[in-house]
């Protein structure tokens, strides 16, 4: 199953799919199209979720390996998507139903809130172990959302955080049982329905201006 969009009343639920949900160019195009739909429809909130073992495994390394000459273009596309989610003019929550690795964990962090499954799944930035340094934009995104202590603990170690540890460090805001993660994310957004999108978008642009500039200029 690919990307799909449904609604719980006025809150949009974007299911990233039931595989590793890696960021292929086609995946990025579909995300952009669905975000257009969410904003255009006047949704009161957005929850992203997944249907399988992974929330997202991040960069599509197979595609990147086969298209090395387009690496700069590809990273720019990924970072543009992250910047868009970071500043989306509606309240957002990531329902981290499975593993979130690398750029997949960055996508979760780009949301306003995160709920993670309590009993299974890891939140991890493996860059230190796979010898891929963070770009300035990706580092700026992570550091805009985490305390210095959490940034050091997650960015320099490659550690895999389970739900409880991720919550205690502030990588996620809450944990929930299997089958209840997406509903818990929706519940976080429910009291925020009806925020003016122009105002909310402007607030996020100001809050995260430095990270957005870094993401869009790498």
Cα angle value 193/30/131 (rounded, 5°): 100
Q: What is the pTM of this model?
A: 0.97
Residue 110 sits in which domain range?
4-216
Distances in Å between the Cα of 165 and the Cα atoms of 119, 152, 157, 160, 170 are 11, 15, 14, 9, 9
Q: How many domains in the chain?
A: 1
pLDDT per position as a tens digit, 121-174: 999 999 999 999 999 999 999 999 999 999 999 999 999 999 999 999 999 999
Identify the CATH number of the domain in which residue 145 sits.
3.90.226.10
Distances in Å between the Cα of 162 and the Cα atoms of 57, 62, 189 are 15, 27, 23
Tell me the pLDDT of the chain averaged across its residues. 96
pLDDT > 90 fraction of the chain, expressed in percent and rounded: 96
């Amino acid at each position: 199953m690919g990307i799909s969009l449904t609604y719980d009343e006025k809150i949009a639920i974007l299911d990233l799919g039931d595989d590793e949900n890696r960021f292929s160019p086609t995946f990025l195009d579909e995300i952009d199209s669905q975000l257009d739909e969410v904003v255009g429809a006047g949704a009161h909130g957005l929850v992203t979720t997944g249907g399988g073992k992974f929330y997202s495994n991040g960069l599509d390394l197979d595609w990147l390996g086969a298209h090395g000459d387009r690496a700069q273009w590809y990273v720019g596309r990924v970072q543009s998507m992250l910047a868009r989610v970071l500043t989306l003019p509606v309240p957002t929550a990531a329902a981290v139903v499975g593993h979130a690795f690398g750029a997949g964990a960055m996508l979760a962090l780009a949301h306003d809130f995160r709920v993670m499954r309590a009993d299974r799944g890891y939140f991890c930035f493996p860059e230190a172990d796979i010898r891929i340094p963070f770009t300035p934009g990706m580092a700026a995104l992570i550091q805009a959302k985490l305390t210095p202590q959490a940034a050091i603990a997650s960015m320099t170690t490659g550690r895999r955080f389970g739900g409880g540890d991720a919550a205690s460090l502030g990588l996620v805001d809450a944990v929930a049982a299997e089958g209840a993660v997406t509903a818990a994310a929706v519940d976080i957004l429910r009291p925020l329905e009806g925020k003016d999108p122009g105002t909310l978008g402007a607030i996020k642009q100001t809050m995260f201006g430095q990270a957005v500039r870094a993401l869009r200029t790498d």
